[in-house]
Amino acid sequence: MSDNTATVSLPVNVEQIQELLPHRYPFLLVDRVIEIVPGHSVVALKNVTINEPFFQGHFPGHPVMPGVLLVEAMAQAAGLLTQITSRLNGHSGSPLFYLVKVDNARFNAVVAPGDQLRLEVEQKRLMRGMGLFAARAVVDGKEVASCELMCAARSEK
């Protein structure tokens, strides 16, 4: 595989992310892409603030980022990997991928306001419209969550 990293202008900022993903506030959970090896891996950041709407109810007086949103943030980082790789390969964009399976999800620590999530995603395989990814979320060098994600390209039906 050739090294395409020189053709990617890093960091990829939130405005560029919005051109690549359909997610918007309050559900866009990636703020920046800081590393990418097209077709292989991506590292993205999510700055967690007390202004996140989910903290109002999860949990009052003890704000904790829901685990399902940690998984979603990792899935969005995987989506950015596929979209950036597709554009580097000369396509105007790849089809939208839907999350279809989460395996081996682990939540090792609480994510709270003030934390910066480092989302690390590795593409294990991509064939016939299905992608398999290994993902982990890290705060201050400590793994707070991990999982395997399977995504499927949206059919035109």
What does the pLDDT profile of the chain (157 residues) look like in tens digits?
344 444 688 999 999 999 999 999 999 999 999 999 999 999 999 999 999 999 999 999 999 999 999 999 999 999 999 999 999 988 876 788 999 999 999 999 999 999 999 999 999 999 998 999 999 999 999 999 999 999 998 866 5
Domains annotated for the chain, with CATH where assigned, are: 5-153 (3.10.129.10)
Q: What residues are annotated to the active site? A: 58
- Cα-based distances in Å from 94 to 51, 85, 91, 133: 32, 9, 7, 16
* 0.95 exceeded by pTM: no
- Cα-based distances in Å from 79 to 95, 110, 118, 144, 157: 10, 24, 15, 20, 21
